[in-house]
Structure 1
Amino acid sequence: MKGQNTFTTSQIDEIKKLIADKVRATADKQKGIRAKIRKLGFHYSDFSSKKDGYTVADFEALIRSGQIKVIGSNYKPTEQLTTKPTTTIKPATTTVLPSLKTTDLTSLLQTFKQNRFDPTNDSETIIPDQSGNYIVCLKPNSNLSTVSVIPILTSFDELKVVYTGIAGGSLISRDYRQHFKGNNAGRSTLRKSLGVLFDYKQIPRDKDPSNGKTKFGQADEEKLTKWMCDNLIMFFLPTTDFDSIEIKLINHFNPPLNLKNNHNSINADFRKLLSTLRSKK
């Protein structure tokens, strides 16, 4: 064992804070945060062979299992919400879930509810490396940045829906790593839309600016990543029928950040404004 498996409550709290900071940080800053965590005596590799990162939920799972002990207290890890999947510590494996194909939207939405991902607390390993659909919602008490037109939001699982999308290849690569972790709005429609609502300045994404592709400056990209992790929840559904399901989801929820294939008269003015902001260089 490189580190230790016994900590005081103050050490536990400090490690949790650093882990949360690490999850939200860009790749170039994560190394320094990991060094601070290890200086406190916690080496995740002592408990798991997983190589793709860990979260506060993973750390608290080690406490629940007894692999990590807390000195001289009645410390209790944060309770998992019953609507969230239970995160377990195990070597990294490819998650394979049944790939659904059905026209019954009610049944599909029930399955979505079972696959809930909170980027602040949940391990990305619960997201499958499969094609599928996803629904992005605001966390309770969170709101989109205010602009001159206020959108009307519908709800899913008591949360306000802002966007739906598809992953033709991999849900974990598209949904989490590009949207929440990518720090490059030039490769994420969701990030671009959220960023322009914050009035972040767009800059060329590539060395050749003539292609018109844009992103935000590094500082704004980092602020956007933190805001997304703090304020958004994602539900996902592994399926090969993602194109037709996407249309059903857009028609049902009328998510304001979806411009393509969204023809609902409600929020039309907001979508027009969003399109203008996205085109502004």
Structure 2
Amino acid sequence: MRVWLKANRILPLTMLMKKLKMKLAGYFRYYGITDNSRDIENFRYLVRRLTFKWLNRRSQKKSYTWIRFDRMFKNFEVPKAKINEGIATIKISRSIIEDTVKFKAKLPDSAGAYLICAKGVNVLPERMKQLEYKFVNELPVIYVGIAGRPTSRVKSLRNRDFKNHFNGTARTSTLRKSIGILFGFEKEFENPNNNLKYKFTNRHEDQLSKWMKDNLVMNFVAIDNPMEFELYIIKTYEPPLNLKDNKSERNKVFRKELSILRTTAYMNN
């Protein structure tokens, strides 16, 4: 932000403040997470001081006193640091799953982001039991995702992501694909020449759905711009089953091995 303000200080004030507001709003949407309030407050404070500094260096004559500058900041309605709604928790238990209407009333039919945790490391496939984890409510985070990608026809935590992960097939859920592979479930390919498009046998898909409903917990937050949130939660929680955009050194070897397993036509169980 320091470099940007220095380079753009010559812009007309209205244009400069419009661009600055957009940058701040984007930053707060991305980083405005529960427990991060101090950092985003400090960021806004820094931006305010840097803006004052560079506006006063646009000419030989000082342009603003702090009183006049704060009045200008207020008039332009510069956004304040804002925390998004904290991550709420739904425990995926058999009783909630069986009572579909009751469950759907709790899970929003809207865009959002979610974390999926296991009820314990001991319930996970053998290859995952020795991994390092970040924890939410003392449960290991294994996967994160979002509902609301621009390319998705249905942008709903309830009717897309929950449905695909817990009642779908490996063809529509990368989470199911990873877990099923780690359990050694049998693949059924749509095309023998394409190792990427497959689901598991019906028996194994049913077995996988039951295991997930019994052993996983879905934590979610409904937000309007989940794309800006996704990279943050991947970086924060370093989930081992997220292969894309996961740059963490933690469990890096495991993720590479999993990627190979997911694209291998046949496995030795």
TM-score range, shorter chain: 0.5 to 0.7
* Equivalent residue pairs, number: 178
TM-score normalised according to structure 1 size: 0.58
Q: Equivalent residue of 2:248, what SS?
A: coil
Question: 1:102/1:251 Cα in 2 relative to 1: closer, same or farther (>3 Å)?
Answer: closer
Q: Where in structure 2 are there 5+ consecutive unaligned residues?
A: 1-27, 36-82, 97-102, 149-154
1:171 to 114, 139, 157: 157
TM-score normalised according to structure 2 size: 0.61
- 2:195 is the alignment partner of 1:202: no
Per the alignment, residue 263 of structure 1 pairs with 247
Per the alignment, residue 117 of structure 1 pairs with 91
Question: 1:110/1:231 Cα in 2 relative to 1: closer, same or farther (>3 Å)?
Answer: farther
Cα deviation, residue 149, structure 1: 8.3
Percentage of pairs with the same residue: 37
1:146 to 109, 123, 126: 126
Give, in whole Å, the separation in 2 of the partners of 1:260 and 1:141. Answer: 23
Cα deviation, residue 129, structure 1: 0.8
Question: 1:148/1:191 Cα in 2 relative to 1: closer, same or farther (>3 Å)?
Answer: closer
Question: 1:251/1:156 Cα in 2 relative to 1: closer, same or farther (>3 Å)?
Answer: same
Structure 1 segment 1-281 matched on structure 2, within 5 A: 101=29, 103-106=31-34, 111-112=86-87, 114-122=88-96, 123-140=103-120, 142-147=122-127, 150-168=130-148, 169-182=155-168, 184-204=169-189, 206=190, 208-210=191-193, 212-281=196-265
CA contact (8 A) 1:185 1:216 kept: yes
CA contact (8 A) 1:149 1:273 kept: no
Per the alignment, residue 80 of structure 1 pairs with none
Cα deviation, residue 124, structure 1: 3.0
User: Which of the two has higher C-alpha Rg?
Assistant: 2
Name the Cα RMSD after superposition: 2.3
Q: Equivalent residue of 1:185, what SS?
A: coil
Cα deviation, residue 241, structure 1: 1.6
* Residues 143-196 of structure 1: CA deviation (Å, up to 9, x unaligned): 3201288321110111110000011101012222110011x1110010000000
Give, in whole Å, the separation in 1 of the partners of 2:241 and 2:29. Answer: 25
Q: Which structure has greater helix proportion?
A: 2
Cα deviation, residue 118, structure 1: 1.5
